[in-house]
Each structure stands twice: as structure tokens, then as C-alpha cells.
Amino acid sequence: MNNKFLGTGVALVTPFKSDLSVDHEALANIVNFNIENGTEYLVICGTTGESVTLNKREKQEVVTTVTNANKGRVPMVLGIGGNNTAAVVEEIKSTDLSNMDAILSVAPYYSKPTQEGLYQHFKAISEASPIDLILYNVPGRTSKNMEPETTLRLAKNFKNIIGVKEAGNNVSQYLQLLKDKPEDFLVISGDDDLALGVVLAGGAGVISVIGQAFPKDFSNMIRLGLQGKTKESYSIHFKLMDVIGYIFEENNPAGIKCVFDALGLCKDTVRLPLVPASHQLKEKIGRFVNDYN
């Protein structure tokens, strides 16, 4: 199994200043905060990073900031995906991936391809990628589920497809993947609320949203889960349960940025069409952070 991606990865936010420009100082601080508190790897320019609102130059600058802050301490994964297969392939070919350990590529959204279309999309991406590839299945955002049979077909046919970030909030689908996967294939939870259960059932870990705000406890919870220490790991899960629900109550990443604002790590600014967390949600998150600390 690819040990680089065992444990807790975090889907980094892209902090913005009040004028909506990228706050690189805050981003570097968040990277350091995570590495110093046990996060095992970093995911850059994913959904939580508001990648669809970043232009090409901004994406490059975000990658540079994270790379410089990381200083080679932990593996890095770059989000490159979309619903135009040719454009995704071209982006992979034109991007400097020398500092990256893998690409995270989301299933095509909006187009709603068949399972064969999903297979052919990721086949083309796999053949274009010079580095490892982690599939990303998130039907709540793409409106199309990648069935376990399709994921496992890709896993068996392409050596550089090393794992899937599964974010369908579907326990049965997780278990199907875990039962039938190749030995070295990584089933990574993309659902913070299910992550511990997935790990205890044989999953490799998580790419987390909330983990970047509470990295010491969250990464420790996942490590305990990987060791099969159910009681100890669930004691941490129960401490974090409420805030996991809060951050997805309205939209992601407005919720997690609200947590960061309460922690003093970055502003809660998001780019349209997202809007900041409501006053009611801010109050709940603020109370949780105060009580937690």
C-alpha cells in the first residue's frame, strides 16, 4: 500500500483578504499549523480550495506558497479535474508536477456521463499523468455516482491509479470498495462524519475538511483508528461531531473558513457564488471553538 497517503490528508482552503485577493500569508500559516500538528499530507486546489474561482495564475501562486511553506516535509496532492477530458489532459501536460506526489481528479460534473464514459475519462487522464492519480467520487456535487465496479475496473487496469477519495456518504458503497479492491488500492474517505468508521473497516484514511482546523486531534483520531483502537478513536470523534455537522450546514468552504476565523487563522471571506456563513451559524461555530479550546 502507498504509505504516503495513509492517515489524514487535508483539503486546504484558499484564504482570501477582504478585497478577495489570495491571502498567501494566512495560507502559509495554515500549512505550518497542520504539519506541526500531525497532518500527514496536503491537498491543494480542490473543492474546499475554491479552485473553480481561481484563475491559472492564482492557482500557480497558491501551489508555490504551499510548496514553499511545506519545505518537503509532507506529500502534496494537486487537484486537476473537470468535465472536459481534453482540457484536463492538457492541464496535466502543461503543469509543473515536479513537487507533487499525486493528482486528485474529480469525476466529471454537469455532463452526467455513463459508467463507460467515466471509465474512458479517467483512462485518458491516467495515460496522460506522469504521477500517481487518486480518483474523486463526489456525486452530491457531480450529480453522477461512479459505481464501485467502475472504480475497481480502473484500479485493476491502470497502475498509476492508486486510490479513490470516496465522498458519496454511502456506507454500503464504501464497504463494497473495501471488500473487492486490489490489495494496494487506497480507499480514502471524503466524508468527515464517516471517516473513522471507514478506517476501522479497512480504509486508508481521509482527505478531510475539518481536520485542517483541529489537526492534532483529528489526525490522532485517524491514527488510532488505523491501529484498531475503537474506543479511544471514537472518544475524539464524539468531541468533533457537532462541528463536523456545522461546517457542512450551509456550504463548504464557508463553514470551515468560519472556524478558521474563530481560530484567528484567516478571514471567513469566500468568492461568489458562495457567501459567508450566516450569523446564526457563526454563533454556533464560535461557541464550539470557545468551548473546545
* Cα distance between residue 132 and residue 63, in whole Å: 18
* Cα distance between residue 95 and residue 129, in whole Å: 10
Residue corresponding to grid cell 484498531: 228
pLDDT reported for residue 3:
87
What angle do helix axes 115-128 and 85-94 make, rounded to 10 degrees? 20
Reduced to 3 states, what is the DSSP secondary structure of residue 189? strand
State pLDDT tens for residues 163-195.
999 999 999 999 999 999 999 999 999 999 999
**Average pLDDT in the chain:** 97
Q: Active-site residues: which are they? A: 136, 165
* Cα distance between residue 226 and residue 237, in whole Å: 14
pLDDT more than 90, % of the chain: 99
How far, in whole angstroms, is CA 203 from its chain's centroid? 15
The confidence band for 21, taking pLDDT boundaries of 50, 70 and 90, is very high
State pLDDT tens for residues 223-258.
999 999 999 999 999 999 999 999 999 999 999 999
pLDDT reported for residue 293:
81
pLDDT exceeds 80 at position 1: no
When pLDDT is averaged across residues 16-21 and rounded to a whole number, the result is: 98
* Cα distance between residue 158 and residue 192, in whole Å: 28
Q: How much is the pTM?
A: 0.97
Domains annotated for the chain, with CATH where assigned, are 3-241 (3.20.20.70)
